[in-house]
């Protein structure tokens, strides 16, 4: 059996574990008191843009403990890696000591395309961290010259652009090039716990060019002189190895505690919502509007910022608009949003047609960096104005799902909502009418919870 085929077989086998596991969660992820029986627990840690969180769950998905830490100040000279390391070990120390011996497995998620270059001989950081939104446009022409048209890596903030920029820089000596390895944020944090260099997952490696459909890096990438820097790839939540002895002894973990591969923060947040069937989707209504849809078909189109993550034997297709909560907060206070929303009749369509943006530029479902916000005419009634804006954002959301379908993804059948906008019941009703499918608030959306589900998947896989 070929390596690729073997990987596909193992992934399909473990997908049933995860789907079953997600459906068995206790509703809402309610906290459950520890009963002292020493039942196995599963630790997920989320590293976001401003801080880190942990969630500790049992095999039913009930939360036993959770906590968060903001990153320590990085000072004038940014030292993100030290801040992340400090936050990680503080969080491990925050877990009640009575729980730690029962932790069976650990997984960590991090921000997509946040990248470090490490010397595999001694663990020294050679370059980075390059943050998720850091642009390295100098490398884009070289990347575009080797990658297929409209590929996910053809963005100046992609992981591959960061790798190529470092490789081409005059400061990268020959000796360091030979021993260098690329690691994503969650890869590096997990390495601090297991000690094995260069292990990643197929969600994080998507933006460096890994092809999850064929379970390998493509030939156009492997033919490059820096191909030896690419990490090995496993499924998210796959066991890597036992926790390092010094970490185990410091925190009192079990010798049987397994460290598993991670994922990106957005994928972990999706997993937390516990929806895995084609046509099911999650819309995140935060400062911006982001949609993710479970699809039977893979869809990638860099023209619209649309790309697909592998979700076991299915695909998670997504896109993100610049519309969302940021523009609402430019126009209304939180108190006004609550009071005015209460006066809206969501069953009556608004005749107002806006394109609410916080500033110039849109990326999805329309790709136009010069698009200007359209928020006029403004009626005398603030309630009518808010109604028109909420309905217009709902139309943008509907256009987004329609575009994914036009590009070949499964049609949307149900939408779960995450983010601050999920708390607005009137907006939820408006969106349900505009989208024409059931819309409801997701019971769990914390990425740390999704990472804990990956840890549970890894523990189940390691004992199969």
Residues 379, 420 contacting (CB under 8 angstroms): no
Residue 157 covered by a domain: yes
Residue 1 covered by a domain: no
* Residues 320 and 384 reside in one and the same domain: yes
- Element (H or E) spanning 235, and its range? none
- Element (H or E) spanning 51, and its range? strand 51-57
Residue 109 covered by a domain: yes
* Residues 294 and 182 reside in one and the same domain: no
- Element (H or E) spanning 66, and its range? strand 63-70
Residue 457 covered by a domain: yes
Q: Does residue 377 have a cis bond before it (omega within 30 degrees)?
A: yes
Domain containing 401 equals 275-442
Closest CA to 412 of 267, 276, 277, 280: 280
* Residues 343 and 231 reside in one and the same domain: no
Number of folded domains that form the chain = 2
Residue 343 covered by a domain: yes
For residues 23 and 12, what is the distance between their CA atoms, to the nearest angstrom? 17
Residue 322 covered by a domain: yes
Whole-prediction pTM: 0.81
* Residues 318 and 456 reside in one and the same domain: no
Residue 207 sits in a domain of what CATH number? Answer: 3.30.420.40
For residues 163 and 161, what is the distance between their CA atoms, to the nearest angstrom? 5
* Residues 413 and 432 reside in one and the same domain: yes
* Residues 437 and 333 reside in one and the same domain: yes
**First and final CA of the chain: distance in angstroms?**
20
* Residues 413 and 455 reside in one and the same domain: no
> Which pLDDT tens digits describe the chain residue by residue (464 residues)?
333 333 333 333 333 223 223 333 343 444 443 333 478 999 999 998 778 999 999 999 999 999 999 987 766 546 899 999 999 999 999 999 999 999 999 999 998 899 999 999 999 999 989 998 888 999 999 999 999 988 889 888 899 999 999 999 866 566 678 899 999 999 999 999 999 999 999 999 999 999 999 999 999 999 999 999 999 999 999 999 999 999 999 999 999 999 999 999 889 989 999 888 999 999 988 888 989 999 999 998 878 888 899 988 899 999 889 999 989 999 999 999 999 999 999 999 999 999 999 999 998 999 888 999 999 999 999 999 999 999 999 999 999 999 999 999 999 999 999 888 989 999 999 999 999 999 999 988 888 999 999 999 988 875 55
* Residues 258 and 285 reside in one and the same domain: no
């Amino acid at each position: 059996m070929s390596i690729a085929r073997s990987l596909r077989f193992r992934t399909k086998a473990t997908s049933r574990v995860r789907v079953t596991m997600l459906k068995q969660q206790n509703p809402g992820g309610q906290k459950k008191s520890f009963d002292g029986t020493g039942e196995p627990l599963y630790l997920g840690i989320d590293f976001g843009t401003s801080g880190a969180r942990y969630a500790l769950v049992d095999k039913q998905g009930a939360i036993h403990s959770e906590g968060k830490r903001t990153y320590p100040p990085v000072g004038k000279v940014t030292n993100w890696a030290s801040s992340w390391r400090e936050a990680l070990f503080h969080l491990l120390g925050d877990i009640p000591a009575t729980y730690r011996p029962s932790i069976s497995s650990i997984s960590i998620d991090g921000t997509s395309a946040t990248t470090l270059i490490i010397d595999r001989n001694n663990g020294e950081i050679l370059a980075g961290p390059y943050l998720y939104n850091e642009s390295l446009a100098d490398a884009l022409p070289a990347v575009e010259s080797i990658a297929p048209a409209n590929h996910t890596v053809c963005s100046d903030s992609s992981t591959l652009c960061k790798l190529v920029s470092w490789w081409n820089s005059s400061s990268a000596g020959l000796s360091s090039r030979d021993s260098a390895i690329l690691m994503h944020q969650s890869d590096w944090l997990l390495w601090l716990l297991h000690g094995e260099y260069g292990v990643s997952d197929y969600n994080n490696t998507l933006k460096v060019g890994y092809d999850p459909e064929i379970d390998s890096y493509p030939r156009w990438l492997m033919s490059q002189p820096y191909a030896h820097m690419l990490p090995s790839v496993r499924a998210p939540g796959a066991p890597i190895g036992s926790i390092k002895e010094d970490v185990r002894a410091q925190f009192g973990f079990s010798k049987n505690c397994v460290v598993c591969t991670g994922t990106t923060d957005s994928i972990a947040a999706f997993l937390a919502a516990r929806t895995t069937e084609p046509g099911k989707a999650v819309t995140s209504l935060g400062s911006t509007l982001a949609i993710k849809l479970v699809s039977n078909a893979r869809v990638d189109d860099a023209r619209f910022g649309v790309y697909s993550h592998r979700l076991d034997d299915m695909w998670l297709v997504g896109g993100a608009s610049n519309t969302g909560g940021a523009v609402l907060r430019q126009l209304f206070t939180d108190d006004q949003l609550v009071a005015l929303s209460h006066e809206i009749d969501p069953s009556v369509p608004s005749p107002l047609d806006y394109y609410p943006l916080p500033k110039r530029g849109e990326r999805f479902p329309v790709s136009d960096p010069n698009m200007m916000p359209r928020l006029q005419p403004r009626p005398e009634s603030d309630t009518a104005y808010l109604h028109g804006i909420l309905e217009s954002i709902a139309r943008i959301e509907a256009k987004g799902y329609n575009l994914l379908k036009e590009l070949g993804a499964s049609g949307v059948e149900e939408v779960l909502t995450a983010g601050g906008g999920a708390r607005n019941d009137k907006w939820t009703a408006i969106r349900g009418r505009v989208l024409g499918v059931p819309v409801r608030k997701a019971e769990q959306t914390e990425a740390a919870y999704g990472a804990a589900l990956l840890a549970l998947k890894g523990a189940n896989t390691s004992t199969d």
